[in-house]
Every structure is written in C-alpha cells, then in structure tokens.
C-alpha cells in the first residue's frame, strides 16, 4: 500500500504531465525516497495508481540503475568507477572501502549501515576520484579523507 | 557565458541577474521580435549544438512546424543528462548560472512557440536540482514563466524532471522516451523530434550549454557571436581537462583553441613524473588523439579532420603510468553496461568486446582477439546499430588499437599487464 504522503507527492508530479503513467519514474523515485528501495509490491501499487500494467511499470523499474530493487543499508555509497576516476586511483579507494567495511560491490554491511555500489561518471572528473553517499557528493578523495566522511554517516 | 559564475559561491538570484541585464534579452525577443526572426538570428550566428554532435541550432529550430494547424502543444526540452564519462561542463553552468539557462529557454521556446518546457536532469546533480527549482520559482513569481510572460501574450511552463540514471537517456530520442515515463530506448529517425517528439508532438531538444548562449546572441547579435571564435564557427566553448595534469579544470575559451594551449597553459601540463601518451578530446565516446595532434584546434570540423570528434570538449588524458588496455577496457565496460539492449550488435557486441579486453588485460588474451576486436569496430559502426551508442563505443577502441597496438601485443605475448 502506498502511504498518503507518497500518493500526494506522486499526484503532484502527475500534474506536470499529460497522463498519469508518464510520472512512473518520478513515482518510483518517490517510493524509494521513503523506503530506501522499491519492492515488487510497491511496483504493483504504483502501476495501479498510474493506470498502467504491472509489467509495464516493472519494465521501467528494472531499466534504471538508480532504482534499487533489493533492500539497501541506511546509507548507500556510490563509488565512481568511470575513466577519469580510474586514472586517478578509484581502484585503491575501492580496495580500502571494501576491506574496511567487509563488503564487496552490491553488498550491505551486517549492521545495515552501508551498501557499497559502483556508479558511472558523476561529472566531477576534474576533482577525481569522486563518490556519493546518499545525496552528498565527495571528491579529491584519499583514504584519510574517506575515514572522516564515513564517521558522519550513522 | 561564464562571466557571472563564481565557483564556491551561490549563483546570482533573479533580482541580481536582472540587475546585470541578464533578462533584458527576454523582453527584447518576446516584445520586439517575431518568433521567426529569433530563429533566423540564431541560424545566422551559426551556433552549433554543444551537446557533442554540433548540429546547427537555428536549423534544428527551423524544422519545427509553425503553421496554425500543427500539433500542439509543442515542447522544448533541455538535455541536462550529462553522463558522458569525462564530461563535467553542463553541471558547471547549471549550478553556476541557472537564470542564464532559463532566459535562454524562454527565448528558445518563444522562437518555436512551445508552451511547455522540461529540463531533463541527470539524477546525480542534486545540487543543480535544488538551484534550478529555486530559480524557476523566482522566474514564475516575477512573471518570466507562466501565462502572458511580460505582457507579451506568450505562455510557458517549465518543469525539472530528474532522471533515474541511464547514459542512453542523453541520446535525444531515448531522452524523450524516458521523459514519457518509459524505458529509455532510442527511436528511429525519421520522423525527427521536430515533427514527432515528446508525446508525438513537435519538440526541440537542446543541450544546456547551447541554450545558455541564446540570450547573449539575442542581446549582442550574430556577428558578435561569430567574432568570439578563432575559426569562424562561432562562440566560445567550455573546455575541460581531467587526468594526471597539474591543474585539471574547466575554462571558457574561444572555439578553436588548440589542444596544446588547453593542456599546457590552462591545465598546467602533466604532473611531474608522468608523460603524456594520448587523449580523448571530448569524452569517452571519441577517438584517441596523440602527441602529433597537439596543435589541432578544438572545434567541430578541425577535430573531425584529425580523425576524432570534439564531442563535449572535455578531454581525458592518458599518461604513461596508466595502462592503455585497462583504460580502454574501463570505457568499453561502461558502454556494455549502459547499452539499452534494444538492438543486437550493441547488446551482444559490447559485452563481448568488454570480455576480450578483460582477458587481454588479465594476461589470458590471444592474438586472434585483436582481429575480433578490430572486426567489432566495423560491426558496431554507424548504419549497423539503432543509435549512436555502439558507434561511440567503437571510437576509442578502433583508435586505441591503432595507436597502442604494441601495448596490446605485449599483454598477449608476456601473458600479463606490463603496468601491474
């Protein structure tokens, strides 16, 4: 069941488009904003609300990389693995984070604090290497800097 | 174009931007010029699309039907889905001067008589999203957006759509499909978006940097704009450099500035201990250039003559301590992952290319892989695929195989990566 708040936010997006199903991507993002990820059940609820088939909504939900279809931790770390960050040492950054958190890409720490994921270019190439945690950008990263950054996410 | 951008400080708000004359051109266009005159002016300026393809903006606008019976509403869409690896120029404009973009969009929408406009924004640009929405609210409040703008009788609604992340959505027809709330898959052309675009209606899609120019061209004229470039193409360009250089960054310089000037003067040359080996002039989907191309002027046609594309104008530098095979593997992995899966050569070909490159990099490659890779640069060429995604992926591969052939062979004969 979509919450009243989720429904209200989705309807606000629907207003900007000629028909409800156009807001499908916005709706998926709204649900993810509230729940961290989008379950099969949530996709079904969205499809009913936007008057589209469940399959159609599911095809959209599985296409976009920033829609999580599995539960994630309280904080999602996205490390840029594209070319400029690779040149500037994304590899050692990943090794450090992976060892420190004890997880590989796609995994969540046992305490549910962090999920580690790769991400394509974040548009911060002149300050590489770069990463995001939740909605926050970080750049010119070094292992020392990451240590401090991680501490501010509980 | 970057005059009012001060990195590290908030962008000018509406009042401040009006005070520096930023919105004067909107009044001028909407009250003193006919829509066709605006299009003619932009055509005369020879403003080439700054998204990477370099298509003349005025020509694109002139393809939109203007008769009373044409399908309505017409749409203007700003492509702000910057996701080309190595590109970071649109972000600079979005965060640095949102009102410059909005003013340009109002004029562009007026020229083609679009009533509804969208900014299709890259999901990761959270700061830009906040900045744009605030600027749009200000513009509505002051009567620059909404009904009867400045008493001209022209109406325009503008909305920001933040994407959910796929590189292919930067392709203009995939962007439109995605904006319709579907999987972002490209469409066959023709029909071109000018006739059948968003929701099947006439639509113009322009890049952030392109639209950011419009108000200045209206204000200062076509001849002024043309005089800004070194090659007669028109205007300045946001150029960027990333990689192992002393001063990576972004600069607004005349179109036609040489690669050498960008690399040595603005980016400060290579970091001590690193030697230059090559570069991709305009993002991951452009062909390599090498030392012999340093005096090439960075504009659309000259870079083309040198065997590459200017693309986004944001260069990625390959240094001597980075393995070229690993470099190219990283790029092809990106393109393989980001293929939308619609057409076979791209969906099946790119993962194969990626696996072969991984194998060569790991030291388990065979000499015949090089022929297969070379075959794929032809197999993935324009004409064989639905859109430009796979041909773009083939560019660094074909030129990389050409310029760094010995390095590929070394990986295979020594059965390891010499850089590890």
CATH of the domain at B395: 1.20.1440.230
- Are A66 and B82 within 8 A, CB to CB? no
Contacts of the segment B366-373: beta carbons below 8 A, 24+ positions apart: B366/B412, B367/B409, B367/B412, B369/B412, B370/B401, B370/B405, B370/B408, B370/B409, B370/B412, B373/B397, B373/B401
Residues whose CB is less than 8 angstroms from the CB of residue A105 and which lie 6 or more positions away in sequence, other chains included: A94, A98, A116, A117, A118
* Mean pLDDT value of segment B37-59: 96
- Cβ count near A33 (within 10 Å): 11
Q: Which of B277, B305, B253 is closest to B400 using CA atoms?
A: B277
For chain A, how many residues are written? 154
A154 touches chain B (CB under 8 A): no
pLDDT in tens, B118-130: 999 999 999 999 9
Same domain, B280 and B315: yes
Banded model confidence at residue B147, pLDDT cuts 50, 70, 90: very high
Q: In what order do the strands lie in the sheet with A75-80?
A: A114-119, A75-80, A131-133, A136-138
Interface predicted TM-score (ipTM) of this complex, two decimals: 0.96
CB-based burial label for A109 (10 Å; 0-12, 13-18, 19+): middle
Show which of B200, B227, B254 is a domain's final residue: B227
CB-based burial label for A41 (10 Å; 0-12, 13-18, 19+): exposed
Q: Which of B268, B257, B315 is closest to B288 using CA atoms?
A: B315
Domain ranges (residues) in chain A: 4-61, 75-151
* Mean pLDDT value of segment B205-217: 98
What's the Cα-to-Cα distance from B276 to each of A10, B126, B235, B364, rounded to whole Å?
Answer: 51, 34, 29, 28
Chain A residues within 8 A of B167 when measuring between CB atoms: 120
Would you state the pLDDT for residue B116? Answer: 98
Same domain, B195 and B48: yes
What's the Cα-to-Cα distance from A26 to each of A104, B47, B145, B235, B322, rounded to whole Å?
Answer: 29, 33, 23, 36, 40
Please state, for a pLDDT cut of 70, what percent of chain B lies above it.
100
- Are A123 and B318 within 8 A, CB to CB? no
- Are A126 and B240 within 8 A, CB to CB? yes
Banded model confidence at residue B307, pLDDT cuts 50, 70, 90: very high
Looking at every residue in chain B, the average pLDDT score rounds to 97
User: Does a structural domain hold residue B85?
Assistant: yes
The whole-angstrom distance between A87's CA and the closest CA on chain B is 6
pTM of the predicted model over 0.95: yes
CB-based burial label for B21 (10 Å; 0-12, 13-18, 19+): exposed
Q: What would the two tokens of residue B194 be?
A: 């000018």
Q: By CA distance, what is A68's nearest residue in B?
A: B164
Same domain, B165 and B78: yes
* B172, B78 Cβ separation under 8 angstroms: no
Give B166's Cβ-side CA count (13 Å radius): 30
Architecture of domain A75-151: 3-Layer(aba) Sandwich (3.40)
* B247, B267 Cβ separation under 8 angstroms: yes
User: Does a structural domain hold residue B4?
Assistant: no
Q: What are the backbone angles phi and psi of residue A107, rounded to the nearest 5°?
A: -110, 160
- Are A122 and B124 within 8 A, CB to CB? yes
DSSP conformation class of B250: E
Cα angle B202, B175, B311 (rounded to 5 degrees) comes to 105
The three-state secondary structure class of A8 is: helix
Q: Which of A94, A98, A31 is closest to A68 using CA atoms?
A: A31
User: Does a structural domain hold residue B2?
Assistant: no
* Mean pLDDT value of segment A84-109: 96
Looking at every residue in chain A, the average pLDDT score rounds to 96
A86 touches chain B (CB under 8 A): yes
- Are A65 and B178 within 8 A, CB to CB? no
* A65, A83, A123: residue with CB nearest B316: A83
A122 touches chain B (CB under 8 A): yes
Cα B169 to the center of its chain, rounded Å: 12
- Are A65 and B165 within 8 A, CB to CB? yes
* B320, B342 Cβ separation under 8 angstroms: no
* A106, A69 Cβ separation under 8 angstroms: no
User: Does a structural domain hold residue B367?
Assistant: yes
A92 touches chain B (CB under 8 A): no
The whole-angstrom distance between B408's CA and the closest CA on chain A is 18
* B259, B296 Cβ separation under 8 angstroms: yes
Same domain, B28 and B103: yes
In this model, does residue B206 exceed pLDDT 90?
A: yes
Would you state the pLDDT for residue B207? Answer: 98
- Are A120 and B331 within 8 A, CB to CB? no
| Calpha distance A101→A114 (Å, rounded) | 8
* Mean pLDDT value of segment A70-85: 97
Same domain, B147 and B206: yes
Q: By CA distance, what is A135's nearest residue in B?
A: B126
What's the Rg (C-alpha) of chain A?
18
Chain A residues within 8 A of B164 when measuring between CB atoms: 25, 28-29, 64-67
* B340, B184 Cβ separation under 8 angstroms: yes
- Are B123 and A66 within 8 A, CB to CB? yes
Same domain, B294 and B171: no
The beta strand positions in B221-313, using DSSP E, are 236-242, 249-254, 276-280
Banded model confidence at residue B154, pLDDT cuts 50, 70, 90: very high
What's the Cα-to-Cα distance from A147 to each of A12, A79, A93, A143, rounded to whole Å?
Answer: 40, 15, 11, 6
Q: Which of B308, B383, B318 is closest to B345 using CA atoms?
A: B383
The beta strand positions in A2-144, using DSSP E, are 75-80, 114-119, 131-133, 136-138
Q: Which CATH number is A4-61's, of 1.25.40, 3.40.50, 1.10.10, 1.10.3470?
A: 1.10.10
Banded model confidence at residue B163, pLDDT cuts 50, 70, 90: very high
Banded model confidence at residue B139, pLDDT cuts 50, 70, 90: very high
Q: In what order do the strands lie in the sheet with B236-242?
A: B249-254, B236-242, B314-319, B276-280
The three-state secondary structure class of B273 is: coil
Chain A residues within 8 A of B131 when measuring between CB atoms: none
A118 touches chain B (CB under 8 A): no
Residue A77 pairs in a beta bridge with A116, A133
In this model, does residue B232 exceed pLDDT 90?
A: no
Token pair 């499809």 in the structure block, residue: A47
Domain span including residue B366: 324-413
* Mean pLDDT value of segment B318-340: 97
* A119, B85 Cβ separation under 8 angstroms: no
In this model, does residue A85 exceed pLDDT 90?
A: yes
Same domain, B219 and B252: no
Same domain, B248 and B187: no
Would you state the pLDDT for residue B418? Answer: 97
- Are A121 and B86 within 8 A, CB to CB? yes
Same domain, B304 and B337: no
Would you state the pLDDT for residue B369? Answer: 98
The sign one gets for the Cα dihedral A44, A50, A55, A58 is negative
Chain B residues within 8 A of A63 when measuring between CB atoms: 166, 183-184, 340
The number of domains in chain B is 3
User: Does a structural domain hold residue B8?
Assistant: no
Same domain, B178 and B143: yes
Same domain, B71 and B99: yes
pLDDT in tens, B84-113: 999 999 999 999 999 999 999 999 999 999
């Amino acid at each position: 069941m979509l919450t009243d708040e989720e429904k209200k936010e989705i309807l606000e997006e629907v207003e900007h488009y000629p028909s409800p199903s156009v807001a499908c991507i916005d709706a998926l993002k709204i649900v993810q904003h509230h729940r961290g990820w989008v379950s099969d059940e949530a996709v079904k609820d969205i499809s009913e609300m936007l008057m589209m088939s469940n399959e159609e909504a599911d095809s959209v939900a599985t296409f976009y990389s920033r829609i999580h279809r599995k539960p994630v931790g309280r904080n999602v770390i996205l490390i840029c693995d594209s070319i400029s960050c690779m040149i500037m040492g994304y590899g050692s950054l990943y090794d450090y984070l992976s060892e420190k958190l004890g997880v590989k890409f796609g995994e969540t720490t046992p305490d549910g604090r962090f999920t580690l994921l790769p991400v394509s270019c974040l548009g911060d190439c002149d300050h590489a290497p770069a990463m995001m945690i939740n909605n926050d950008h970080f750049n010119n990263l070094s292992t020392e800097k990451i240590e401090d950054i991680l501490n501010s996410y509980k | 174009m970057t005059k009012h951008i001060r990195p590290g400080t908030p962008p000018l708000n509406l009042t401040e931007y009006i005070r520096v004359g930023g919105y004067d051109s909107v009044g001028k266009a909407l009250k003193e010029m006919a829509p066709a005159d605006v299009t003619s002016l932009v055509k005369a300026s020879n403003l080439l699309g700054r998204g990477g393809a370099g298509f003349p903006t005025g020509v694109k606008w002139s393809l939109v039907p203007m008769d009373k019976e044409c399908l309505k509403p017409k749409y203007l869409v700003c492509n702000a889905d910057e996701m080309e690896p190595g590109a970071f120029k649109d972000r600079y404009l979005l965060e640095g001067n949102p009102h410059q973009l909005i003013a340009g969009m109002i004029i562009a929408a007026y020229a083609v008589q679009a009533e509804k406009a969208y900014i299709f924004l890259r999901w990761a640009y959270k700061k830009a999203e906040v900045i744009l929405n605030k600027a749009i609210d200000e513009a509505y409040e002051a009567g620059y957006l909404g009904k009867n703008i400045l008493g001209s009788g022209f109406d325009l609604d503008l909305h920001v759509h933040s994407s959910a992340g796929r590189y292919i959505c930067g392709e203009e027809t995939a962007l439109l499909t995605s904006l319709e709330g579907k999987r972002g898959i490209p469409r066959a052309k023709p029909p071109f978006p000018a006739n059948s675009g968003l929701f099947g209606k006439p639509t113009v899609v322009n890049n952030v940097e392109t639209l950011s120019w419009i108000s200045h061209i209206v204000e200062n004229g076509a001849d002024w704009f043309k005089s800004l470039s070194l090659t007669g193409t028109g205007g300045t360009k946001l150029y960027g450099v990333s990689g192992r250089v002393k001063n990576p960054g972004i600069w607004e310089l005349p179109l036609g500035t040489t690669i050498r000037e960008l690399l040595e003067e603005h980016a400060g040359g290579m970091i001590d201990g690193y030697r230059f080996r090559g570069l991709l002039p305009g993002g991951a989907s452009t062909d390599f250039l090498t030392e012999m191309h340093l005096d090439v002027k960075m504009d659309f046609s000259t870079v083309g003559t040198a065997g590459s594309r200017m693309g986004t104008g944001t260069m990625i530098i390959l240094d001597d301590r980075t393995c070229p095979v690993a470099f190219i593997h990283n790029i092809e992995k990106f393109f393989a992952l980001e293929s939308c899966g619609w057409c076979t050569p791209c969906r099946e070909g790119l993962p194969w290319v990626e696996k072969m490159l991984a194998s060569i990099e790991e030291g388990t490659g065979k000499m015949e892989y090089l022929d297969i890779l070379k075959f794929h640069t032809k197999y993935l060429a324009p004409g064989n695929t639905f859109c430009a995604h796979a041909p773009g992926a083939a560019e660094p591969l074909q030129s990389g195989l050409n310029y760094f052939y010995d390095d590929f062979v070394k990986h295979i004969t020594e059965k390891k990566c010499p850089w590890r």
